[in-house]
Amino acid sequence: MSRGRCDIPAATSVLASHSPWVDRLLVMTDFADLWTAHRHVVRDVAYRALGSVAEAEDVTQETYLRLLARGDEPDVEPLDEPRAWLITVASRLAIDRLRAHEHSRRAYVGPWLPEPIVTDERTLPEDRVTLDDSVRMALLVVLEQLTPAERTAFLLHDVFDLGFDRIADVLGVSPASARQSASRARKRIAAQGEARFSVDPAAARRLSERFAAAASDGDLAGLVAVLAPDATGHFDSGGVFPDAPAEVVVGAETVARQFLAGVGGRGLDFEVAEVNAEPGIIVRRRGRVISVLALEFADDRISVIHGIGNPKKLAHVR
C-alpha cells in the first residue's frame, strides 16, 4: 500500500468476512440506537412503578444490560418491537423490586412518599422524566396503595399503551386476569376523586407563591388562608426527624401550626418550583435542599401537602 492511500479492498474483505469484531460493532450500534430512542420511556415506566428516581435509574441500566447480553446470544432473532420488549423487561424488574420492598414499606417510619421530580431550567434534557398526569404526586400516592399487579397493569395499559397479552406475560397471569387487575386499579383511582388530578396551573402557582411567602414570614394566618379547611399534611422523613408527625395531619390550622413548628426560626428559604408536573416548593438551608413540598389543589386552595424530607429521597434534587 502506498503512502497516503487506504487499502479499500482489504477493509472490504474484513466486512465481508463477518468477523466477530464486526458482529460486536453491529450489536453496539443497534444498542446505541435503542438507548437513544427508548431509554427515557424505560426510565418513565420504572419511576412510575417504583416511585424512586434512584431505582428507576438502576432498572434502566439493568434493562439495557439485558439487551446487550441478548445481542451476544448466538442466532438471536431481531426484535420486532424493541420498545415493547424494553418496557416488558423493565416492568418485570420493577415488579420484582416492588414485591421485595413490601416488608420494608410496611416497617417504614411514618408516611412513605415517592421521591419527587423537581424540574427547572437547570435540569438537563437527559435527566428529565416525562412529565404528564401520570407523574403527579396525587396519582403516585394512590398507586402506592395498589398491589404490584394492579399498579403494573394500570401503568402498562393506560399510560404506556401495552396490550394485555404482553402485560399478562409480565405478571405471569392470563390476559383476562391482567385485564381485571387494570380494572381494579382504575376503580380504586377513581374512588379517590378525579378532581385531585386536575388543576389550573396559574392558580396553583399563585397559591404556591402565597404559601412560600407566608412560610418565609412565619405567618400562621397567611398559611391558613391558602389551605383548604380540611387540608391534610403528610411528611416523609424516614425517621430522620424525630419530631416529624408519624401520622397524617388534618385541618388547615393544625397543618399550618405543625408546619411552622417544624420550620420556624431555622433560616430556611422557600422557592416555588415544578414538582411532579405541578407547582410545589423547595425548602433550602444555606443552599442545601432539606425538603420538597408536593402540593395538591382544590377549589382555589391547597388541599394536600406531601412533604418529603428523607435525605435519601432528595439526593438527586439540586
86: number of Cβ within 10 Å: 24
Please report the pLDDT score of residue 28 as a whole number.
62
Q: Which is more confidently placed, 78 or 273?
A: 273
Q: Cell digits for 113?
A: 412518599
pLDDT in tens, 184-209: 999 998 887 654 545 688 999 999 99
Please report the pLDDT score of residue 16 as a whole number.
41
The H-or-E segment that residue 15 falls in is: helix 8-16
Q: Which is more confidently placed, 73 or 259?
A: 259
Pairing mode of beta strands 301-308, 227-236: parallel
Distance, CA of 22 to chain centre:
38
How far apart (Å, rounded) are the C-alpha atoms in residues 185 and 154? 6
Q: Global pTM?
A: 0.83
Number of H helices, E strands in the chain: 11, 7
pLDDT in tens, 157-169: 999 999 999 999 9
The mean predicted confidence, pLDDT, of the chain is 85
Pairing mode of beta strands 268-275, 118-119: antiparallel
* Residue 235: band (very low, low, confident or very high) from pLDDT cuts 50, 70, 90: very high
Please report the pLDDT score of residue 264 as a whole number.
66
How far apart (Å, rounded) are the C-alpha atoms in residues 70 and 78? 10
Please report the pLDDT score of residue 23 as a whole number.
53
Residue 12 has pLDDT above 50, yes or no: no
171: number of Cβ within 10 Å: 22
Q: Which is more confidently placed, 318 or 53?
A: 53
Cβ-based burial of 182 (10 A; exposed 0-12, middle 13-18, buried ≥19): buried
Residue 151 has pLDDT above 90, yes or no: yes
How far apart (Å, rounded) are the C-alpha atoms in residues 289 and 266? 13
Please report the pLDDT score of residue 126 as a whole number.
54
3-class DSSP state of 274: strand
Region of 193 (left: φ > 0; alpha: ψ -120 to 50; beta: rest) is left
Please report the pLDDT score of residue 6 as a whole number.
41
Q: Domains of the chain by range and CATH?
A: 13-107 (1.10.1740), 199-313 (3.10.450.50)
Kindly report which listed range (13-27, 78-92, 101-115, 225-239) carries the lowest average pLDDT score.
13-27
Please report the pLDDT score of residue 217 as a whole number.
93
Q: Which is more confidently placed, 109 or 174?
A: 174
pLDDT in tens, 67-116: 988 877 777 788 889 999 999 999 999 999 998 888 787 788 888 999 99
Percent of the chain with pLDDT over 70: 84
Contact status, residue 47 vs residue 97, Cβ threshold 8 Å: no
Please report the pLDDT score of residue 280 as a whole number.
96
Please report the pLDDT score of residue 11 as a whole number.
35
Return all residues near 62 (Cβ < 8 A) that are at least 6 apart: 93
How far apart (Å, rounded) are the C-alpha atoms in residues 225 and 227? 6
